[in-house]
Chain A
C-alpha cells in the first residue's frame, strides 16, 4: 500500500493560475519535504517541515509556499506558475533527522505540473 500519496498525479494549469498540490502520509514521520525535479536534473529541495517547524531553502522563490496543517498532510502552493515551474514535484517523508546514516526518504509518486 502506498505510504506517501500525492494528488493530483498530473496537473495542467495556465500561466499565472494558482495551483495546489497535496501530499499525505501514513508513516507518521516527523519530517516532510517538497522537491522540484526538472528533466535530467537532480531533485531540488524547496522546503521541509520538521513537525510544525518550516524550513525554507534560501533559493526557493516566494512564488512557492507550503502548509502543513497536521502530521499527515502537507501542501505545496504555487501562487503564480510560470513556464519555468513546469516540473515533477516530489513529496517525501523521513523520521526525525539526527541519527547518523538515516538517509531513507520515502517519496510519493510525484505530481507532474504542466504550465500552458
Chain B
C-alpha cells in the first residue's frame, strides 16, 4: 500500500462548481500535511498547509481527520485557472516529504 493515496481523476467540472479532493495516508506517525499544486509540465508549488482544526485560504479549504488518516481539499467557485494537478503531501518528523500521485482537475468554461 502506498504511503499517500489519491484519486487520480481527472475531475472535469464547470466554472463556478465546488469540487473536493480526498487523500489518505497510511503512516499514523505522519505529522504535517500539505497540498501542492502542479501545472502541466511545471514544478510543484505549495498551495497550503493543512492544520488539525482545518483552514481556509480564499476559495480553498483544507481539512484533516487524524483518526481516519484522511485529508481533503475543497475548492469553491472553480476558475479556469484552477486547472492543475493537486498533490497531497505528508511529512514525518525530519524525514523528507512524501508526495501522492496527484488528482488532476480540469475546469471547463
Contacts and interface: CB of A to CB of B under 8 A. Distances in A.
A41 to B, nearest CB: 6
Interface residues of B, number: 27
A48 interface: yes
Contacts of A33: 96
B20 interface: no
B94 interface: yes
A50 to B, nearest CB: 9
Contacts of B4: 42
B32 to A, nearest CB: 5
B46 A42 contact: no
Contacts of A18: none
A42 B96 contact: no
A43 B32 contact: no
Interface in B86-105: 87, 89, 91, 93-102
A110 B43 CA distance: 7
Contacts of B98: 45
A42 B34 contact: no
B54 interface: no
Interface of A: 33, 40-43, 45, 48, 88, 90, 97-98, 100-105, 107-110, 112
7 contacts: A43-B44, A97-B95, A101-B32, A103-B49, A104-B34, A109-B43, A110-B43
Given A100-B31, A102-B32, A108-B43, 16 more contacts: A40-B101, A41-B101, A43-B44, A45-B96, A45-B97, A88-B41, A90-B44, A97-B95, A101-B51, A103-B46, A105-B97, A107-B43, A109-B42, A110-B42, A110-B43, A112-B41
